Chain A
């Protein structure tokens, strides 16, 4: 009895000292509760305050993580969460994604006309960002599962924001069925990892030492099962079937969030998991797992890029573009080397701005000009030149052409893969590199279709088309980093490397 009391007080002390490192999460949780409470009031002024309150919460979490210095007592929280530089940079990206989502939502007319559920909408965005933060921090399989489920459940509800539309309901059903299935499969894999090692801390060396002792075939199968859940979150093949439907049914700001937030967090989780493979002893023993990841990356790249060619609606086109980016990131995760993590994080940061830019463009054209198919873009570039030029900019960056940051991101990853190939001589990396370069050419064909309709076809209708100043400012705001980071990528890279090197 006395022993238990001592253990309990020890745990409580650990929680109290570790809580300092969870300040951004606590802040987000506090604002979430505040939003839910205030949403109970009927007053109109309070309801109008809610988005701004959510924005305040996200912005303070953003600032807190940029400034740092909040990890007062210990980096580790009970062997569950680790607040290192990687998690901190991830947290900055997630808060930024949350802020952008709310800014896009404030511009959206569909959401403005929504009669009920606006309070929950903003509260759930906060909850989603909180879950993403936890995903990036978790070093324990329980925490990984919990964080992924927090993100997933918030996503399911957000997909159904426009619940009076058939396509939203259909998307929600498909999303939750695929989501729970992949979570269940992942959990089954996790249970085997626990059985092999007797521990859930997958980042520790002893965990992998124990796996080296376990049955080879079973470990490989368990890893493949585990990756079902991860692949679902980053929308990689063969768990990408939900993507086009959800992108078709969810409101545009939420689509933008799905295409960046969970993908970034999932990549960070995988990055922590595969970090063990940078040890040559582990990598050579579990050769098949690396092959499996390589084949998945290749399949995702091929499926994403080639299916995008046949799409007729801009939302579906972007869905498959998002799948192809997931494949690209998976490829980057296999290239262990010097600039490994910073290359991936740089690409993720660029992806954030590109995706929000292009989804804002799609939101404007869909809500103001009724564009739901690619043909509807006809001649818009002449009517509203600013919009057309911005769209061209984002699409070129998504393809990976200079002079835009998307090019720098791809270049960095390709050079990482090449370096990893020259030092390890794995043929798989070479195959991935060649496929990546060739498929970038394919990507040009489908991305260019939007500017083709915008500029090369004329539409002689006399209409006055205007877009609001706030939309123009936002479009410019998302484009600015893309130009700056092409000419000065070191600005961001140095900062990322500094954060990663920090022990906090």
Chain B
């Protein structure tokens, strides 16, 4: 059950790329948020993987716990804002949301 570090790093890099790709190509606000969530989780995976080489303090695992909490808080605020946007613009499509000149 000893997965080499390279494999985990590769997986996290793939997750990161998928996240960035989703942010760039998708136009729906909620899907963009999902992409950002993937980026956070790529970083989490990295932190936990590296934490294996830091057995005394486990700072990486600790860090990823904080990240999970922060990501949840951010998602809550972001979804509330998306709801507001929907009430005003009747859409959550990013390219249709413009109010000024």
Chain B residue total in the interface (Cβ 8 A): 42
- Sorting the interface of chain A by its residue count into under 10, 10 to 19, 20 to 34 or 35 or more gives 35 or more
In contact, B50 and A181 (Cβ under 8 angstroms): no
A-B contact count (CB 8 A): 112
* B7 at interface by CB-CB < 8 Å: no
Q: Known interface pairs A156-B77, A177-B29, A194-B47. Does A146 touch B40 (Cβ–Cβ under 8 Å)?
A: no
Q: Known interface pairs A173-B82, A200-B63. Does A157 touch B77 (Cβ–Cβ under 8 Å)?
A: yes
In contact, A187 and B50 (Cβ under 8 angstroms): no
* A198 at interface by CB-CB < 8 Å: yes
A244 vs chain B, min Cβ distance (A)? 10
In contact, B50 and A194 (Cβ under 8 angstroms): yes
CB proximity to A under 8 Å, residues B47-96: 47, 49-51, 53-54, 59-60, 62-63, 66-67, 70, 73-74, 77-78, 81-82, 84-85, 88-89, 94
A309 vs chain B, min Cβ distance (A)? 17
Main DSSP-derived SS at the B contact region: helix
Q: Which of B33, B44, B99 has a CB less than 8 Å from the CB of A180?
A: B33
In contact, B74 and A173 (Cβ under 8 angstroms): no
* A375 at interface by CB-CB < 8 Å: no
In contact, A184 and B40 (Cβ under 8 angstroms): yes
Q: Which of B39, B43, B88, B94 has a CB less than 8 Å from the CB of A169?
A: B88
In contact, A173 and B97 (Cβ under 8 angstroms): yes
Q: Mark A156-179, 1 if CB is under 8 A from B, else 0.
A: 110010010011011011001100
In contact, B98 and A170 (Cβ under 8 angstroms): yes
What residues on A are CB-neighbors of B78 within 8 Å?
156, 176-177, 180
Assembly CA distance A490 to B63 (angstroms): 43
Q: Known interface pairs A142-B63, A190-B43. Does A170 touch B97 (Cβ–Cβ under 8 Å)?
A: yes
Main DSSP-derived SS at the A contact region: helix
* A153 at interface by CB-CB < 8 Å: yes
What residues on B are CB-neighbors of A183 within 8 Å?
74
B6 vs chain A, min Cβ distance (A)? 12
Q: Known interface pairs A177-B29, A177-B32, A191-B46. Does A169 touch B85 (Cβ–Cβ under 8 Å)?
A: yes
What residues on A are CB-neighbors of B12 within 8 Å?
191
Interface residues of A (CB under 8 A from B): 141-142, 145-146, 149, 152-153, 156-157, 160, 163, 166-167, 169-170, 172-173, 176-177, 180-181, 183-185, 187-188, 190-192, 194-195, 198-200, 248
13 contacting pairs across A/B (C-beta < 8 A): A149-B74, A163-B84, A166-B99, A169-B81, A169-B85, A172-B84, A176-B78, A181-B39, A184-B43, A187-B39, A187-B43, A195-B49, A198-B53
